[in-house]
Amino acid sequence: MPGRLQDKVCVITGAASGIGAETARLFGEEGAKVVGVDLSPDSIGDLAIEADVTDEEQVKAMYQRVTDELGRVDVLFNNAGINPPDDQSVLDTELEWFERVQRVNLTSVFLCCKHGIPHLLANDPPGGSVINTASFVAVMGAAVSQVSYTASKGAVLAMSRELGVEFARRGVRVNALCPGPVDTPLLQELFASDPGKAARRLVHLPLGRFAEAREIAQGALFLASDDSSYVTASTFLVDGGLSGAYLTPETGE
């Protein structure tokens, strides 16, 4: 039985690790021709491209190479991003670091949309899916702040909504994928070094655990596939109920 992305050409940024790598694997299993993009040479995919997605010329060249070698582009998963090294409130964040996070998390998404969407519009018939990685922090606040990260993800969400409306009648769907906390090496280190800090986060999750990267990838798969043909300009939360919670269940209830 053909996969849900059979023969679709999917360009995934940040594909060397984490959500990007897991999504590249899943898309491949679903029949896609996967283009993995990263600063690292270790991207997962049928075609691996080393590129700095904050550099406009490299982004333009990246999509042109994909079209030249694979014939078309069907899905953009603009996932590359960075986290601040520590919790940083607005009082502690240096301007240089704030601007760096905006460039990697926001400007890169802008550039990938600016230069990727024309390739979707060039398809016959025109169309495709754009998935921009935002975050649950784009829709709710936290006393333990990462203000530069939060600001960047809020902007990604707003931009995705705008583009989803703008291109809806031209066959291009644009959605913001908003993961909750994901079980990454960074979170595992937090558990080991400061169980209290980790527990402070975990208590707010109705499901009682952090997400696996594969679970976020499944959300991206839905948005990339024709299963979501009537979904655009959406805030697609895959957060274990975090953003909808007031009180969470006691263990075993």
Catalytically active residues are: 149
Residues 6+ apart with CB under 8 A from 164: 173, 174, 175, 232, 233, 234
C-alpha of 100 from chain center: 18
Residues 6+ apart with CB under 8 A from 129: 74, 75, 76, 172, 173, 174, 175, 223, 224, 225, 228
* Cα–Cα–Cα angle for 162, 164, 166, rounded to 5 degrees: 70
DSSP state of 71: S
C-alpha of 212 from chain center: 14
Report d(CA 14, CA 202) in Å as an integer. Answer: 26
DSSP helix/strand/coil, 177: strand
